[in-house]
Amino acid sequence: MLKVQKIVELTDSSIAAGDPGLKISGISSFDDAGPDDLTFAVETAYLSRLDQTRAGAVLVPDSFSPEKRYKAALLKNPNPKLSFFKIVEHLYPAPKLKEGIHPSAVIGENLTIGKGSCIDANATIGRDVTIGAGVHIMANAYVGDGSTIGDGCEIKPNVTIMERSCLGQKVIIHSGAVVGSDGYGFAQNNGEHNKLIHTGYVDIGDNAEIGACTTIDRGTLGVTRIGSGVKTDNQVHIAHNVKIGNNTLVVAQVGIAGSTTVGDNVIIAGKAGISGHLTIGDNAIVGPYAGVSADVPPGEIVSGIPHMPHKTWLKVANVISRLPGMRTKLLSMDKRLKRMESDKTE
C-alpha cells in the first residue's frame, strides 16, 4: 500500500492532478487497472483515452498537458514506464536469496563462491568454477568446468553453461538457454564432415539478459562475445565467433551466423537472419524477417529478403500483392503496343 505522495517521492514525479493522499495497492495495465491501481501512459493511443482507465493514478510524460479533468490522479514524470516498474519492484520485491548450496546440488572440486549466493536443488557445477556474490543458480542448471559467473547473476532452471564460459555481473540467463555449445564448423574430407575441436569460449558482458532456449556457440578459436546490456529474446541463435556490441537488442527467433560482428545499440527484429562474416554497424536496425547477406552501415535501417533500405522495403511491401495485376497489365500493354506497331507498318 502506497500513498500517491509516496509514489511521487519514489519516482521523482510531480502531481499534475488528483489527491496526494490517495492510496494505491496494486499495479496494472492501462485497460485492466482498477481504482486502487497505478498504471502508466506514454503513447498517444493511451494518453488520448485517459478518461477511460479506471486506474487510481497514472504516470504520464512530463510533456503531457491535460486538457480536461480526469478521475485518476496524474503524476508527471520524465520516464513514466521506468518509474512505473520501479513502483512494481517496490510493491513486489524479489524474494531475498537464501545463501547456501542445496544438498542435492553437485559441486565439482575447487569452487570459489561469493557471499549471499545460492545454488538450488539438482544443479550441477563443474570443477574450477568461480561464482561471485549474490548469484542465484536455480534448479537443474549446469555450469561447466572453469566457468566464471559474475556478481548478481541469475541462472534460471535447466540452463546449460558449458565449460570456460565467462559471465559478467548481473547477467540473467533464462531457462533452456545454452551458452558455449560447439559451433557448426567442420572440415570437409572425402565427402565427410570432420568435427573441429572448439577451443574457444563465450564471454557475456554485465547486465546482459539471454532469453529462454537461446543458444550461443563458443568460438571455434577465440571468443564469442556478447556485449554489456545486450538483451536477447527467446530462441535466438548466435553462432561461433559472433561479436555483439553493447546495449544491442536481438528479438525472438533471430539467427546470426558465424563470425559476424554486430555493433552497439543495434536492434535486430524478430525472425531476422544475418549471414556469416558480416559487419552490422552501430545503431543499425534490421527489420523483422529480414535476410541480411551483406554489411549494414552504422545507423542504417534495413528490411526484406534480400535486405534493402527500410524505406524501399515499405514501398516494395506495398507492391508485392499487386504483382499479378502488374503482369496482366504488362502483357496487355505488349499486345496494344504490338497492334500499334503493326498498324504503323501496314
Residues known to be catalytic: 240
Instruction: Rule CB under 8 A: say whether 61 interacts with a second copy.
Output: no
By beta-carbon proximity to a second copy, the closer residue of 47 and 221 is 221
Q: Which segment (1-9, 48-56, 63-71, 235-243) binds a second copy by CB under 8 A?
A: 235-243
C-beta of 67: minimal distance to a second copy in Å?
Answer: 26
Q: What are phi and psi of 51, to 5 degrees?
A: -80, -5
C-beta of 69: minimal distance to a second copy in Å?
Answer: 26
Task: Give residues 20-49 in contact with a second copy (rule: CB under 8 A).
Answer: 27-29, 32
By beta-carbon proximity to a second copy, the closer residue of 209 and 295 is 209
Number of residues that bind a second copy (CB under 8 A): 114
Of 140, 147, 165, 260, which lies in the binding site for a second copy, with binding defined by CB under 8 A?
Answer: 140
By beta-carbon proximity to a second copy, the closer residue of 18 and 126 is 126
C-beta of 276: minimal distance to a second copy in Å?
Answer: 9
Q: What span, in angstroms and rounded, lies between the C-alpha atoms of 127 and 13?
A: 50
User: What cell was used for 266?
Assistant: 543495434
C-beta of 266: minimal distance to a second copy in Å?
Answer: 12
Task: Give residues 263-302 in contact with a second copy (rule: CB under 8 A).
Answer: 265, 270-271, 273, 275, 288-289, 291, 293
Of 213, 261, 281, 295, which lies in the binding site for a second copy, with binding defined by CB under 8 A?
Answer: 213
Task: Give residues 174-193 in contact with a second copy (rule: CB under 8 A).
Answer: 174-178, 181-182, 184, 186-189, 191-193
Instruction: Rule CB under 8 A: say whether 194 interacts with a second copy.
Output: yes
Instruction: Rule CB under 8 A: say whether 52 interacts with a second copy.
Output: no
By beta-carbon proximity to a second copy, the closer residue of 20 and 54 is 54
Q: Which residues pair with 107 in a beta bridge?
A: 125
Question: What dihedral angle (degrees, nearest 10) is formed by the CA atoms of 130, 133, 136, 139?
Answer: 40
Instruction: Rule CB under 8 A: say whether 226 interacts with a second copy.
Output: no
- Residue partners of 134: CB distance under 8 A and separation at least 6: 97, 114, 115, 116, 117, 151, 152
By beta-carbon proximity to a second copy, the closer residue of 17 and 227 is 227
Contact (CB, 8 A) for 67 and 49:
no
Of 67, 109, 323, 342, which lies in the binding site for a second copy, with binding defined by CB under 8 A?
Answer: 323
Task: Give residues 78-137 in contact with a second copy (rule: CB under 8 A).
Answer: 79, 81-82, 85, 88-89, 92, 94, 102, 104, 106, 120-124
By beta-carbon proximity to a second copy, the closer residue of 22 and 274 is 274
